[in-house]
A and B are shown apart, each in its own frame.
Chain A
Amino acid sequence: MACMSKGDWYSPVQFWRSGPSPGSLYSFPGVLTAENTRFSQRSQAPITTGTSVLGIAFDGGVAIAADVLCSYGSLARFRDCPRVMHVNDNIILGAGGDYADYQYLKDVIEQKILEEECLNDGFSLKPKALHCWLTRVMYNRRSKLDPFWNSFIVGGLQDNEPFLGTVDKLGTAYVDHHIATGYGAYMALPLMREAVEKNPNMTQKEAQKLLIKCLQVLYYRDARSYPKFQIATLTKEGVTVEGPLTLDQNWEVAHMVRDGV
C-alpha cells in the first residue's frame, strides 16, 4: 500500500526502475554465459599450498606452529614461506592450504587492524571476533562455490582466557584446546590429545615441546612437509614468533626399512 511520492511536471516519478523494459532485450544478472565466465572460474584447485598447522592452548596462552614450506603440487618449491602471522597483541593466526588465498586474507586482516588503530578508541580486535568474522567470510565464499582454499587456526586471549579456534574452506568452524589441520588432524591430534589427557594444565614450555614433537612426526610421515618451521606463542606478556627453526631428524632407522631407502 505504499503510496509513491507524487511527481510533478519538473520531476516525474519513475514508474519502473531496474528490470526488463518491455520491447527490448534485457540481460538478467547472474547468468553464467561464455562471455562472463571467460576469465573467471570457480571452485578451483589450490596451486601453491601449505600443509598442516598445529595449535594448542595452555595455561596462560596459546601456541600455533607450522612449517615454512609451500609446495607446488609434489614439488617442495618455496622453502621460506611464513604461514603464521601476528595479528595484534591478542591474536595469532596460522594458515594451511592455498598460499595465495592466505596472502589475500592476510592483507584484508591487516587492513582491518590498521583501521582499528586509526580509530584509536582503546578497543582492539579479540580472537573470538576474528574467528567469527573469518567464518562468515569463508562460508560466504564457499556458498558462491568459489572458496578460499585454506584452513585457519585462530588463537589468542579472549578476556584473559586462552582461545583457540579453526575455520576451513567450507566454513566449518569450531573451538577447542588443541587443533590440527591437514595431515596433522590424523597424526598430530592423537598425540596432542594423549599428552593433554596426561597433563591437563600444560605450561608454555611443555606446550611448545609438544608442538615441536608433533611437527617432527609430521615431517617423517607427511610427504609435503619440511624440517624448518615457525612457532608463535601468545601470552599476556605479548606475542613471539620464533622461526624459522629446524627440526631434529634421525634417519638411522632408514637402512632397516625393507623396501625403502
Chain B
Amino acid sequence: MEAVKLGSATVGLKSNTHAVLIALKRASSELSAHQKKIIPIDTHIGIAIAGLTADARILSRYMRTECLNHKYSHDALLPVGRLITNLGNKMQICTQRYDRRPYGVGLLVSGYDDQGPHVYQTCPSANYFDCKAMAVGSRSQSARTYLEKHLDEFLDCDTDELIKHGLRALRDTLPNEVELNTKNVSIGIVGKNTSFKVFDEEGTAQYLRMIEGEEKRGGQPDTTGQDPTPPQPPPGGEGPQDPIPAVAMETE
C-alpha cells in the first residue's frame, strides 16, 4: 500500500460513454525519460499504474494474455469486470502464501464493454473497487477532493470536458513549482466507438492548452493527508522527485 502512495499521481474518471485516464509521469533524473504510466491492455481496456513498475509489467502481461485468450476462443472482447475478478484472484494468492509478497502496484483500469465505460481501482491487498472516478498515488487526496466536488458533472460530459476535468484534478496534486506539460502528462481514453489510445505529445498539448489559463484550485499540497512529500528518493518507488521540468512548448 505504501508503494502505491509513493508512486506519482494518476486520475481516472468516466462519463456515460467514455472512460479517461490521466497520469503524471515522473523522471528519475534530469537525464532519464519520464516513466510511462499508462499501458494499453486491449482495444477496450487500458491501465494506469502507481507503484512498483516491474510488478505492474507482470500484471499487465497477465491481463493482456487473458484478454487475448478470450478474444481468440470466443471472438469477443473480455468484459472488464471479469478481467478484474481474475486479476483480483491472482493477486490474492500472493497475500496468503508465506513465500510470496503482494504485487506492490495499484492500478486504475479503464475499460469499455457492453455495459458501458468502467473505472476500477485495484490495490496490492487484492481488493478491487468499481469507481465512478478515482485518483491514486502521492498527493492524490487533492485530486480526489476535486473529483468528489464535480462528480455529478462527469456523466454528461463530452470527451474534451472529461479530459479537462481529469487534467484539473491532476493539477491539484502538483507542488507549487511544478506545472503540467506534455512531457510529464499522459492521457488515455477509451469508450463507445473509441479504441483505447494514449495521446501523443501533440494530442496532450492540445488539451493542456484548453486548461492553460485557469487558476490552480487548492494549490497547497495537502500535508495533513496520508501522502507526505518524500524528501528522499522513495524506496522501491519511481525514483527521486522531478526537478523543475524544462518548458516543452515555445509559446509559454
Q: Which of B74, B79, B85, B115 has the most CB of A within 10 A?
A: B74
Contact in complex: A132, B114 (CB < 8 Å): no
Contact in complex: B115, A123 (CB < 8 Å): yes
Q: Which listed residue (A121, A122, A129, A136) contacts B76, Cβ 8 A?
A: A129
Contact in complex: B79, A133 (CB < 8 Å): no
Total residues of chain B contacting the partner, CB 8 A = 12
Question: Is B98 engaged at the interface, CB distance under 8 Å to the other chain?
Answer: no
Question: Is A126 engaged at the interface, CB distance under 8 Å to the other chain?
Answer: yes
Nearest to A137 among chain B residues (CB) is B73
Contact in complex: A133, B82 (CB < 8 Å): no
A123-B114 Cα distance, complex, nearest whole Å: 8
Q: Which of B194-247 contact A (CB under 8 A)?
A: none
A131-B85 Cα distance, complex, nearest whole Å: 25
Contact in complex: B82, A121 (CB < 8 Å): yes
A205-B85 Cα distance, complex, nearest whole Å: 44
B69 to chain A, nearest CB (A): 10
Nearest to A131 among chain B residues (CB) is B75
Contact in complex: A121, B73 (CB < 8 Å): no
Nearest to B76 among chain A residues (CB) is A129
Contact in complex: B79, A129 (CB < 8 Å): no
Question: Is A119 engaged at the interface, CB distance under 8 Å to the other chain?
Answer: yes
Q: Which of A49-103 contact B (CB under 8 A)?
A: none
Q: Which listed residue (B72, B74, B75, B81) contacts A121, Cβ 8 A?
A: B81
A119-B83 Cα distance, complex, nearest whole Å: 12
A159 to chain B, nearest CB (A): 9
Number of A-B contacts (CB under 8 A): 28
Chain A residues in 8 Å Cβ range of B81: 121, 123
Chain B residues in 8 Å Cβ range of A129: 74-76
Chain A residues in 8 Å Cβ range of B114: 123
Contact in complex: B74, A133 (CB < 8 Å): yes
Contact in complex: B73, A119 (CB < 8 Å): no
Chain A residues in 8 Å Cβ range of B76: 126, 128-129, 132
A131-B72 Cα distance, complex, nearest whole Å: 12
Contact in complex: A136, B73 (CB < 8 Å): yes
Contact in complex: A132, B115 (CB < 8 Å): no
A131-B76 Cα distance, complex, nearest whole Å: 11
Chain B residues in 8 Å Cβ range of A119: 82, 85
Q: Which of B158-177 contact A (CB under 8 A)?
A: none
**Extra pairs beyond A123-B113, A132-B74 (12, CB < 8 Å):** A121-B81, A122-B115, A123-B79, A123-B81, A123-B82, A123-B115, A126-B76, A129-B74, A129-B76, A131-B75, A132-B76, A133-B74
What are the nearest 3 A-B pairs in CB distance? A132-B75, A129-B74, A129-B76
A–B pairs, 18, beta carbons within 8 Å: A119-B85, A121-B79, A121-B82, A122-B115, A123-B79, A123-B81, A123-B82, A123-B115, A126-B76, A129-B74, A129-B75, A129-B76, A131-B75, A132-B73, A132-B76, A133-B73, A133-B74, A136-B72
